[in-house]
Chain A
Amino acid sequence: MLKRLFRALPGPLPVRLLVAVVIVAALLVALVVVFEALGRFLDDGGVMG
């Protein structure tokens, strides 16, 4: 599936590689943001109020 998605990207191979790296980086950042939000249910720092 990942190969199919990669081949679907536009442009020559170097461009596709760059776009793929950018997309993966964006997905990782989004994942961390979601993890941070969910993590506050486990431990929000113990602040009063």
Chain B
Amino acid sequence: MRFHIYRFDPDVDPRPRMQAYDLPDSPADRMLLDALVRLKDMDDSLSFRRSCREGVCGSDAMNINGRNGLACIQPLHALKQPVVLRPLPGFPVIRDLIVDMTQFFAHYEAVRPYLINDQPPPERERLQSPQARDSLNGLYECILCACCSGFCPSYWWNPDKFIGPAGLLQAYRFIADSRDTATAERLADLDDVYKLYRCRTIMNCTEVCPKQLSPSRAIERIRLALTKASI
């Protein structure tokens, strides 16, 4: 199987380059990550992040044949050859397929991704109806892999000021949570020129989410909530 992989060693390369690899087929290989691990056996300098190998940690997000995805759940047989692997678009490249996620996580922390409820805690749980709990479906499952933000043109042009689809999805996860009491502050915080309103509903995010989540829908809900709050 033929691969073209983005290589960049800051200590050696003046600029990134593409390197071709020919990997002998193996029946044991099912997912792209299997191939990458064998490629690393061939060339130990090839670097990429990986951990759970089952699509829940989000470590191995990368650009696969032009679209973002997780290497560990990308079936090899579905990939057109040569398989072209590049790091997440728009993210600073530390080395090969490893990108700097600092800004991405900073945006996540900026939306205060934790329950805010200053009322005295009840004896047991803060209760929530099954319907209220259902409203969190499609929001809590985010693994922060950055496939979405790495495919969002608005995030490419303003990664420092636009929160990005992942951060906004998590912001909505807490706006929608019936147990959270800081809804008004959360909404007001998102209402500025950049944080939320750079989104143009291009929907690239929803196209590439490996967990089939819809950040565009979450952003649409935040906008409606903001509009309702201003009437």
A, B: real partners? no
Chain B residues packing against A (C-beta within 8 Å): none
Chain A residues packing against B (C-beta within 8 Å): none
